[in-house]
Amino acid sequence: MDDAERKRIITELRGAFGQAEQVGGGEPLRVRLPRLALPDPWSPRETAAMLTFDDWPQNRPLLYVEESVVGETGQPPRSNHTVLFDGGTWRGFSFAFPWAGENPVRAVQLWLSRFTVERI
């Protein structure tokens, strides 16, 4: 991914979510969203999130949230796993949705739509 594409992605994410910052400088592009609102019944209602853009745009970015995120029964998302990025631990999960395109904001919106479907 070239610098212009990195800048475009970060600019679009900032426009939609208020803040977005690149983490590290290597591949894949990693972008931290300090505040991302989650739909009911997930809590906390706001979390930091980390996106990794590996093989973009052929593959959707992966979304990771803070480990404290749980559903209505107090359980984390299904098929979850933890990863270490930027000196912190993040929770990844396996929400499925079809992907095509080059819109990073739409990718995050699709991830968030899965939180309304995947209730725990």
Two tokens, residue 78? 């299904």
Q: Residue 27 has what pLDDT?
A: 87
Q: Residue 86 has what pLDDT?
A: 77
Q: Which segments of 9-93 are extended strands (E)?
A: 21-22, 29-37, 46-53, 62-66, 81-85, 88-92
Q: Residue 87 has what pLDDT?
A: 84
Q: Residue 85 has what pLDDT?
A: 83
- Into how many domains does the chain fold? 1
Q: Residue 79 has what pLDDT?
A: 84
Q: Residue 109 has what pLDDT?
A: 93
Domain boundaries, position 104: 3-117
Show the low-confidence residues of the chain (pLDDT under 50). Answer: none
8 A C-beta contact, residue 68 and residue 47? yes
Measured CA to CA in angstroms, residue 36 lies from 5, 17, 25 at distances of 22, 7, 23
d(CA 113, CA 50): 17
Q: Residue 67 has what pLDDT?
A: 94
d(CA 28, CA 23): 10
Residue 12 DSSP class: H
pTM above 0.95, yes or no: no
